[in-house]
Structure 1
Amino acid sequence: MELRRFSTAAAIIGTTFAPTYSFATSFELPIWKSEAEERGYILPKAFGLSVGYMKVEQGINVTSIELNGIKNQITTPGLPAFELCAPDVPSWVPCYEFPGTPGKDVPINDIDIDTRGGYQESEVWTVRADMWLFPFLNLYGIAGKISGYSETDIKVNVNFGDNNSLSLPYLPFRLDLDGNMYGGGFVVAGGYERWFTIIDASYTKTNLTVIDGGIDSIVVTPRVGYDFTDYGHPVRVWVGGQYQNIQQTLKGNLSDVFGPQIAAALSEDGVDAQFVVEQELASEWNTVVGFNYVINPTFNIIGEFGFGERQSAFISLDTRF
């Protein structure tokens, strides 16, 4: 799962002005800075660097589970021959002799996997660098570290053909998530008097390290807020919604999930069967509320909280220069 945040400067400025398309005598960022300040707008410093932490809990859906390296048949164990004689009976009474049965190769026509529920918990640490290209447009790059897990109950159904099948009970299917995340995005900001609005959009990719696979995330967060600075309080608050389109592809060995015995029973000789799991979020939208506290023109603290199907808590320390 990946971390989402927005630039402090987006909340600081109200930038619905008509640019004159004339540049200052020396190049400066953001572009049209002088024109904006002449109109009374207070702009943040052009460059920013922040460190953030976020914890997320949310439901997930497993869209598919694929197994590779599975046997095309299972050999049932054979029973040895034995003789059973009843005690304290005349010798002329014959004993029961069991001739034994050989093992039998039972074909596997297919294996179906049903899923029930799904839950994911993750923590993300990020470093983010941003730049105000225009007073209303911020560009940023982000990198970080994600850790956590996802868990789903699965039920395995084995079809042997000829109307013969075996269904195992639901078992927990847990996958540990650990990986490195990177990406980028942009913020569009505008405002009127003390009201402001910002739209944050980003794309990030996470390469997992504990298991194979990756996470691709598209996140769009529109927000509307109010600036209390003119009342003597350097605080800005907002409310909004967050859209997340996240596709997760997770790969690994069957023995790492179900143990070596079950894996050996299903895997081809000398091969550890592998799984490929496709997951998506149970809900794409949730509500967010947040605040920005300005310590001084250089440092800011940002906090944001998510509610609904996806619950989250985020905190960040920003510095601008």
Structure 2
Amino acid sequence: MPKIIPVTLLVLFTYSGLSQVYTNKPGKKQQVNTDTLGPYDDVLPILGRKAHERGFDLPYSAGISLNYLFQESSIIINNLQVGFNKGDMYNLDNIIRFNDATAATNAFNFRPDIWVFPFLNVYGIFSGSKSSTAVDFSVNVPNGTGYTEVLTAKTKAEFQATTVGFGLTPTFGVAGAFVAIDMNFSWSDIPELSKPAYVFVLGPRVGKNFRFKKERALAVWVGGFRVDINSRTDGSIPLSSLFDSGELAGKIEAGYIRLDEAQTNLDNWWSRLSASEKKQNATKYAVAQAAITKAGDVLNEVESSNGRIGNSTIEYSLDKRQEKLWNFVLGTQYQLNKSFMFRVEAGFLGTRNQVIAGVQYRFGL
């Protein structure tokens, strides 16, 4: 029943990151009057004029940006159930062992944003992505004295997604540095899932903005990145997208042989027990026998489906989560002028790696 699991998850993460622009206020040694900053004619942000009068050099209130994201992360899968061709579902939690599960995404993200207040940026998320989930797993059944590995498999499911969402980024200054707390909420439409996948991203960052001549500036920051995904996933995927029919047939045949070995070992172990030992181990024996029976039923379903693989589907339901919620981020943004900015950010440590690169154009409202 191998790769059935690969269908394992379709996890798509939407990253949007910082507001990408930061309010500048000159220090005492560089204090300038408001005339140096130029006239202020924008409607937004609210309270913008008062901030301008106090010496803050505000970014243009509106912007559009295009970002590229690559992300790879390890995930944990639990409570797996699978079915075939809309038939009965089998709970495989007690016989499946996931050795590794990795989700990867390549995405382009379009994001319009507005500074509503000098300290609050609000933005929208519109993203298209190509993603994959690679899974290494094994099927194991108890045999009385240990476990028999019925089969092992590696599989990779690929899919596309469309994502929409919104985010908020409160910002404030501390001791000449800035603090930004990015939060966004997104929903990804993936054809293989029964409903959109929800993701919440939290990204606190601390950094410094260095100003140069002619509106040029360089911001650098460090911070954290936390991703929460909806834990329950249900969907359906063609069997042919996961396996080659010939390869699958070989695994099924080997699985039957291993299953017979497990049954023989279990029967031999049971027959050697005394009456009192059988009484003590009755539950253990029943659990092992149920696992072997279930594995056999699933192998039968897989074999039947493989015979018409072009028309067969796998239905699945599972819980998944990030192996570690947080990772570390390091980023920088170069401001050519108040209208054009370029940004790069890398995330690492933990069990998630990501790279984000983007360009932004800003204008006043």
| TM-score of the aligned structures, taking structure 1 as reference length | 0.75
AA of the residue aligned to 1:29:
L
On the 8 A contact 2:74/2:101 being kept in 1, the answer is: yes
Classify the secondary structure of the residue corresponding to 1:4.
coil
Partner of 2:20: 8
Partner of 1:62: 77
Partner of 1:219: 201
| TM-score of the aligned structures, taking structure 2 as reference length | 0.66
CA distance, structure 2, for counterparts of residue 109 and residue 223 of structure 1: 44
Classify the secondary structure of the residue corresponding to 1:40.
coil
Indicate yes or no: 2:365 matched with 1:301: no
Deviation at 1:265, TM superposition (A): 1.6
Alpha-carbon spacing, 1:72–1:302, altered in 2? closer, same or farther (3 Å): closer
Deviation at 1:209, TM superposition (A): 3.1
Please, what is the CA RMSD of the aligned residues?
3.4
AA of the residue aligned to 1:217:
V
**1:59-208 map, 5 Å:** 59-69=74-84, 111=92, 112-157=95-140, 167-192=149-174, 194-208=176-190
| Structure with the largest fraction of strand | 1
Classify the secondary structure of the residue corresponding to 1:12.
coil
Partner of 1:310: 352
Deviation at 1:124, TM superposition (A): 1.1
Partner of 2:241: 256
On the 8 A contact 1:254/1:274 being kept in 2, the answer is: no
Classify the secondary structure of the residue corresponding to 2:221.
strand
AA of the residue aligned to 1:265:
E
Partner of 2:37: none
Alpha-carbon spacing, 1:134–1:205, altered in 2? closer, same or farther (3 Å): same
On the 8 A contact 2:186/2:200 being kept in 1, the answer is: yes
Aligned residues: 274
Runs of at least 5 residues in structure 1 that lack an aligned partner in the other structure:
15-25, 74-107
Instruction: Tell me the alpha carbon deviations over residues 257-312 of structure 1, each in whole angstroms, 9 at most, x when there is no partner.
Output: 24455665255998644233432211100000111100111010111110112111
Runs of at least 5 residues in structure 2 that lack an aligned partner in the other structure:
1-12, 26-40, 253-300
CA distance, structure 1, for counterparts of residue 97 and residue 170 of structure 2: 43
Larger Rg: 1
CA distance, structure 2, for counterparts of residue 71 and residue 37 of structure 1: 63
Alpha-carbon spacing, 1:290–1:123, altered in 2? closer, same or farther (3 Å): same
Alpha-carbon spacing, 1:231–1:168, altered in 2? closer, same or farther (3 Å): farther
Instruction: Tell me the alpha carbon deviations over residues 11-59 of structure 1, each in whole angstroms, 9 at most, x when there is no partner.
Output: 3346xxxxxxxxxxx9811001111011101111111100000101211
On the 8 A contact 1:69/1:268 being kept in 2, the answer is: no
CA distance, structure 2, for counterparts of residue 51 and residue 72 of structure 1: 44
Classify the secondary structure of the residue corresponding to 1:2.
coil
| Structure with the largest fraction of helix | 2
Classify the secondary structure of the residue corresponding to 2:324.
coil
